[in-house]
Amino acid sequence: MLKRFFLLESSGIIKKDFLASFILLFNSFAWYYFTQAIIDGILRNFSSTDQQTLFVSGIYFSTIILTSLIGSALSEKMNRLHLFYIWVVLGAVASFLPLLLTEYSTTNLLIISLSLGFSFGFGMPSCTAYFADCTAVEHRGGVGGLILLLTYLSAPLLLIFIGSSVFVVSMLSFVWRALALGVLFLFKPSKVKIERKKRTSFLSILRNKPFLLYFIPWLMFCLVDRLESTYLKAIFDPWFFEFFNMLIAPFIGLLFVFIGGLIADHIGRKRVVIYGFIALGIEYALLGLAPSMLVSWYLYAVVDGIAWGMFTVIFILVLWGDLSPANSPREKYYAIGAFPFFFTKLVGIVFRPYVQGIPRESAYGAFSLAAFFLFLAVLPLMYAPETLPEKKMEIRRLKAYIEQAKKFGEKYTKKSEGKN
C-alpha cells in the first residue's frame, strides 16, 4: 500500500529520505499537541485569569508565527540537516523546561510559552518543505493525510492515557521530541542537503497570483471558522457545544483528513477545495435560516468536520509544495501558507470577549454573514490553477480504465469458458 502511494523508485526519491521526512513530520505534529497540553496544564494549575490566559496564548501563537518566518529565511543560509539538529534539540530542552520551573509565576509562564512557541515554529517550515521534497506530487495528499491521521489518533490518546499532569506530559514531550533526534542519526538523510538554484523573497511569493488565489480563501475560511466557533461556544450550553466540537466534528475530520488527501490526489486539489467551500456556505446559510432546528446543528458538525479534515491536509501540507518550484526555498511558501492557521487562533483569542457578547437573537445575521464570506471565497478559487499536473491525472484515469478493461475481459472469458 505504501509503495503504491509513493512510487519511490519511479519518482527518484530515496527511501530513507522519505521515511525520515514521514517520521519527522509525524513526530513534530504530535509534539505540537503536547506543547499545547503543557501550556493548558500550567494555566490550569496557576488558576490564571482570562487576561493571563489571553496573554500566554497570544505570546505562544505570535512566537510560532514570527519564528516560522525567521526559520524559513535562515533556511536559505543554513544546511537543512544542521537546522533540523538545532530545532529538535531546542524542542527537547523546551519540553524539559517546565520541570525546572517549579514555581508558576507570570514570568515563568512567559518563558515557557516563548520557548515552546520558538522551538516549534523555527524549524516547521523546513520540515514541511522536506516532506514536499521527498514525496511524489501525485501522492502528496494521501501521504500527508496518513501522517495527520496518525497524529490525530496517537497524540490525543497518549494524553488521555497519561493524564493531565504537567510533570508527566513534559516528560513525555521531552522523550517524544528526543526520538526525532534519533531519527536524524539513524537515517542520516541525504536529501536535506539539496542545492537550491535560486532564492525567493516573501514579497515575490505574495505577488504570485496562483499563490494568492489559494491563500485568500484559506485565510477567509480560518477567520470565519474561528470567530463562528467562539460565537457557538457562547450561545450554547457547554455540554452541547462539547458534544459537537469535541466528539462529532473531530471524528468526522479524523476520517476525512485521510480521505480528503486521497481524493485530492485523484480529482485535483482545486475541485476538492471548491466543493468544501460551497458545502460550508450552504450549511451556514441553513443555520442562518433555521438556527433553532437540531438537524441544522448535526449537519453543521458533519460538514464542518469534513471541511476541516480536507482543508487541513490540502492547505497545511499539499498546496504550498505544489505551488513552489523544485530546488526553490519551499520553506517560505509553507511559512506564509501556515500563517492563517495560527494567526486566526490569535484573532479568536483576542476577539473572544466581543464575539461572545453578541446576543443569541443575532444568530441569523452572524451565520448569514459567515455564509456570504464563504461563498465570496469561492470566487478566487474559480480563477486558481489546478496544482496537480494534468498529465498525472490522465495517467491515473488511463490506469483505472485498463484495470476495468482487464476485469471485464477476465469476467467475459470465464463466462465463455463456462458456456463451452
- Same CATH fold, 207-403 and 14-187? yes
pLDDT, averaged across the chain: 82
Provide the Cα torsion 119, 120, 125, 127; round to 10°.
90
Share of the chain above pLDDT 90, in %: 37
- Specify the long-range contacts of residues 41-47, CB closer than 8 Å, at least 24 apart: 41/164, 41/165, 41/166, 41/169, 42/98, 42/104, 42/109, 42/112, 42/166, 43/109, 44/164, 45/104, 45/166, 46/104, 46/109
Pick the CATH number of 14-187 from 1.10.599.10, 1.20.1250.20, 3.10.180.10, 3.40.50.300: 1.20.1250.20
Count of positions (residues) in the chain: 420
- DSSP three-state, residue 90: helix
Cα 101 from Cα 104, distance rounded (Å): 7
d(CA 74, CA 72): 6
**pLDDT tens, position by position, 10-30:** 445 568 888 899 999 999 999
Nearest to 125 by CA among 90, 80, 186, 82: 80
The whole-angstrom separation of Cα 33 and Cα 155 is 7
Residue 228 confidence (pLDDT)? 80
| Residue extents of the structural domains in the chain | 14-187, 207-403
Q: Write down the pLDDT at residue 76.
A: 85
Superfamily (CATH) of domain 207-403: MFS general substrate transporter like domains (1.20.1250.20)
In the chain, what is the straight-line distance between the N-terminal and C-terminal CA atoms, in Å? 38
pLDDT digits (tens, 9 = 90+) for 247-271: 777 888 888 999 999 999 988 899 9
Q: pLDDT tens digits for 139-174? A: 999 999 999 999 999 888 888 888 778 889 999 999
Residue with cell 523546561: 97
